[in-house]
Amino acid sequence: MEQFGLTIITIILIALGIAFVFAELESDEAEFFGPAAIFCLIMGIALWFISNPASWLISPEWFGIISIMLITVVLILISFSILLTYKMIILKKNPTNIFEFVGGIGKTIDEIGEEKKGYIQFHGEYWKAYSEMIVKPGQRVRILKKEGLTLFVEPEENLFCSNCGAKLSFDSDFCSNCGTHVKN
């Protein structure tokens, strides 16, 4: 009877660990779900080997195969949880300031329009973007606002060089007047 209780605890810990991994995917916080998933999965797999294979109603021949499959899945989930937790901690240490986005200049990757979302490149990252006007690929756009992971943009028609004040074209990386590098 004691082995049966250990079996139930093992199943609950592994199930909780898997649930915490999925909760981590949905959560914006890394302070609980990631570490809890790692703890539950490690404890569950440890108890798996402490328990008696007979209490699982699994033949000893199959217990080894199932153990290898379980270890593989748990190691993948633990690695994934560690990666997610690490990324969330780094993000918390270096939060993105919304004011860095608003007014920023990006470059379109796809055609963006009223009916069609696309992607822009801003500070070396790709962001989903929306515009009320049609914007062709390769055009510079000004970011108006950010909602979640979507940026609302408009074509940058009057972009001027910060060094000499000359008007820049959409596709220029350098000012044609003074040669200054234009920030993306």
- Quickly tell me which residue has 């009916």 as its tokens: 115
Q: What is the rounded radius of gyration, in angstroms, for the C-alpha atoms of the chain? A: 26
pLDDT at site 120: 93
Tens digits of residue pLDDT in 68-103: 888 888 888 888 888 877 877 776 776 655 557 888
**pLDDT beyond 70 at 2:** no
Task: Provide the residue ranges of all domains of the chain, joining segments of one domain with +.
Answer: 2-93, 98-184
Please report which confidence band the pLDDT of residue 1 belongs to, taking 50, 70 and 90 as the band edges: very low
Tens digits of residue pLDDT in 112-135: 988 888 999 988 888 899 998 888
Taking the complete model, does pTM exceed 0.75, yes or no?
no
Tens digits of residue pLDDT in 137-183: 888 888 988 887 889 998 876 566 767 777 776 556 788 888 887 65
42 sits in the region (left: phi over 0; alpha: psi -120 to 50; else beta) called: alpha
Tens digits of residue pLDDT in 48-60: 777 766 666 677 7
Please report which confidence band the pLDDT of residue 184 belongs to, taking 50, 70 and 90 as the band edges: very low
Q: Average pLDDT for residues 99-110, to the nearest whole number?
A: 84
Homologous superfamily assigned to 98-184: Nucleic acid-binding proteins (2.40.50.140)
**pLDDT beyond 60 at 107:** yes
71 sits in the region (left: phi over 0; alpha: psi -120 to 50; else beta) called: alpha
